[in-house]
């Protein structure tokens, strides 16, 4: 179900924002003048239209990395790595991502596949302007252009989160809901969804943390009998509700809403791990099941991911003061923002999303264009009103 106020901080909002003389939707002047990083503010140009994503083969740079990490962590460097939890998440001090050579970037991709969430403190990305993060990300694969979120002028690959400082915005969000958590992996509705995301909070008050769940660990927690039951099932993912939210707020549609079918249990080609690949935001139906069966099973799986604090970690962005650049996986990890910032405080962040392989359940299907996980038209009939 689309929620009336979902995605309030990524879409244009006609109640607060402006339209400039060229017809581009922009943040209002008062907020522009107050922004610490105005060059990273979102704009939405209704003239920008993009076709649906096409299939691409994806060779993860992690596959050519030296597993002893000699370029990412050279012996003569003074750095520290702190594990956030034993199983996933690491925080790193003393490494400047912008200085990595290509072999170092390959090793970064491998470390990310292994640890799933990486936080690098004291990074200089923001000081290089919006184009720098885009160039950095392009090394790892094609970058996603979001169908409806805003981006700085000239940099459509940047996805901007902007929680407006107008008083009462949070109140409006909670007028209809008791919580605004929204567990998801980024853009799972795409044919080739995000492999990983690079994210930085530029400006914020306290709070506004992101919570991550290890969905490979969630899979391992299931009994062998349940794991067996889930093998071979597929899920319909759709962006239709997200697109409707944008339109509801007066926003744009750069690409038409899309739907795709992906395996419920996803195999990571780098680590060989299986994970539960479904999320409440975009997942709609286990296509092999009847509606009630699908609802029952999906709700159980959402509960395992969302309620098991012992497979989660929480990142506080320290109000953007530590220049913390995060990289997090979208295969094997779900995440949610938290809406607990003070009313009237801005929260401004950017992300880029590197598109990966078409999700697979078996290695023999990797990068095969002819691989078909199900009948999309038939599956769509299952979620449309009769
Ligand atoms: Fe996200």
Give me the DSSP letters along 54-77.
PP-----GGGG--TT-TTTS-TT-
Interval 211-228 mean pLDDT: 98
- pLDDT reading at 246 higher than 50: yes
pLDDT (tens digit per residue) in 132-160: 999 999 999 999 998 888 899 999 999 99
Please state the CATH superfamily assignment of the domain spanning residues 18-381 in this structure.
Answer: Clavaminate synthase-like (3.60.130.10)
Contacts of 35 (CB under 8 A, 6+ apart): 27, 41, 203, 346, 348
Distance in Å, CA 166 to ligand 1 centroid: 23
Lowest mean pLDDT among 19-23, 238-242, 295-299: 238-242
For the segment 337-362, the average pLDDT, to the nearest whole number, is 94
- 176-180, 285-289, 294-298 — which is least confidently predicted? 176-180
Output the average pLDDT for the chain.
93
CA of residue 6 to ligand 1 center, whole Å: 13
Provide the whole-model pTM.
0.94
Query: What pLDDT, on a 0 to 100 scale, did the predictor assign at position 343?
Result: 87
**What is the CA(185)–ligand 1 centre distance, in A?**
6
pLDDT tens digits, one per residue of 48-69: 899 889 999 999 999 999 999 9
Q: What pLDDT is attached to residue 2?
A: 38
What separation in angstroms does the CA of 306 have from each of 110, 215, 310? 26, 10, 10
On the question of pLDDT at 382 being above 90, the answer is: no
Question: Can you tell me the distance from the alpha carbon of 176 to that of 237, in angstroms, rounded to the nearest whole number?
Answer: 25
pLDDT bin (cut points 50, 70, 90) of residue 386 is: low
Tell me what pLDDT residue 93 has: 97
How much is the average pLDDT of 341-362?
94
> Which of 16-25, 323-332, 351-360 has the least mean pLDDT?
16-25
Q: What is the pLDDT of residue 5?
A: 41
The CB density around residue 75, as the number of other CB atoms within 10 Å, is: 5
Q: Could you tell me the distance, in angstroms and rounded to a whole number, from the CA of residue 382 to the centre of ligand 1? A: 26
336 CA → ligand 1 middle, Å: 7
Could you tell me the residue ranges of all domains in the chain?
18-381
> How far apart are the CA of 59 and the centre of ligand 1, in A?
23
How does 189-198 read in b/e, with b if 16+ C-beta sit within 10 Å? bbbbbbbbbb
Q: Is residue 97's pLDDT more than 90? A: yes
pLDDT for the residue 8: 72
For residue 66, what are the contacts with CB-CB under 8 A and spacing of at least 6? Answer: 103, 106, 107
| Interval 229-238 mean pLDDT | 97
Separation of 186 CA from ligand 1 center, angstroms? 5
State the Cα–Cα distance between residues 245 and 230, nearest whole angstrom: 31
Q: Where does the pLDDT of residue 7 fall: very low under 50, low under 70, confident under 90, or very high at 90 and above?
A: low
Lowest-confidence range among 98-107, 260-269, 376-385? 376-385
* Residue 322 pLDDT class (50, 70, 90 cuts): very high
Query: Rounded to the nearest whole angstrom, what is the distance from the C-alpha of residue 190 to the centroid of ligand 1?
Result: 14
Average pLDDT over residues 242-262: 82
Going from the Cα of 120 to the center of ligand 1, the distance in angstroms, rounded, reads: 18
In which band, very low, low, confident or very high, does the pLDDT at 4 lie, cut at 50, 70 and 90? very low
- Left, alpha or beta for 235 (phi > 0: left; psi -120 to 50: alpha)? beta
The pLDDT score that the predictor gives to residue 253 is: 81
**3-state class (DSSP) for residue 34:** helix
- Model confidence at 3: pLDDT above 50: no
How many A from CA of 169 to the centre of ligand 1? 20
**Band of the pLDDT at 11, cuts 50, 70, 90?**
confident
- In this predicted structure, the answer to whether residue 175 has a pLDDT above a threshold of 90 is no
Q: What percentage of the chain reaches a pLDDT higher than 70?
A: 98
């Amino acid at each position: 179900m689309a929620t009336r106020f979902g995605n309030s901080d990524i879409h244009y909002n006609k109640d607060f924002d402006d339209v400039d003389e060229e017809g581009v939707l922009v943040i209002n002047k008062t907020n522009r003048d107050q922004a610490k990083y105005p060059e990273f503010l979102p704009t939405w140009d209704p003239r920008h239209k993009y076709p649906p994503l096409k299939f691409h083969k994806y060779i993860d740079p992690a596959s050519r990395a030296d597993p002893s990490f000699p370029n990412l962590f050279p012996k003569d460097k003074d750095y520290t790595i702190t594990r956030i939890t034993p199983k996933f998440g690491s925080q790193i001090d003393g490494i400047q991502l912008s200085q990595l050579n290509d072999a170092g970037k390959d090793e970064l991709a491998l470390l990310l596949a292994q640890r799933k969430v990486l936080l690098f403190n004291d990074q200089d990305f923001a000081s290089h302007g919006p184009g720098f993060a885009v160039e950095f990300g392009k090394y790892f694969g094609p970058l996603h252009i979001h169908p409806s979120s805003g981006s700085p002028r000239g940099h459509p690959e940047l996805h901007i989160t902007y929680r407006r400082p107008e008083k009462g915005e949070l109140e409006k969000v909670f007028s209809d809901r008791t919580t605004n958590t929204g567990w998801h992996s980024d853009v799972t509705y795409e044919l080739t969804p995000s492999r990983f995301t690079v994210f930085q909070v530029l400006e914020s008050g306290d709070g506004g943390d992101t919570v991550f769940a290890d969905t490979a660990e969630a899979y391992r927690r299931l009994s062998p009998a349940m794991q067996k039951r889930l093998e071979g099932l597929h899920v319909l993912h759709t962006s239709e509700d997200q697109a409707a939210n944008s339109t509801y707020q007066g926003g744009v549609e750069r690409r038409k809403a899309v739907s795709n079918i992906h395996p419920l249990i996803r195999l990571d080609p780098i680590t060989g791990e299986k994970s539960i690949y479904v999320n409440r935001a975009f997942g709609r139906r286990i296509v092999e099941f009847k509606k009630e069966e699908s609802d029952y099973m999906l709700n159980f799986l959402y509960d395992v991911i969302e309620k098991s604090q012992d497979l989660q970690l929480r990142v506080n962005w320290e109000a953007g003061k530590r220049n913390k650049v995060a990289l997090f996986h979208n295969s094997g990890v779900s995440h949610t923002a938290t809406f607990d910032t003070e009313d009237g405080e801005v929260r401004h962040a950017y992300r880029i999303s590197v598109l990966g392989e078409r999700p697979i359940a078996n290695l023999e299907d990797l990068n095969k264009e002819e691989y078909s996980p199900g009948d999309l038209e038939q599956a769509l009939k299952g979620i449309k009103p009769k």
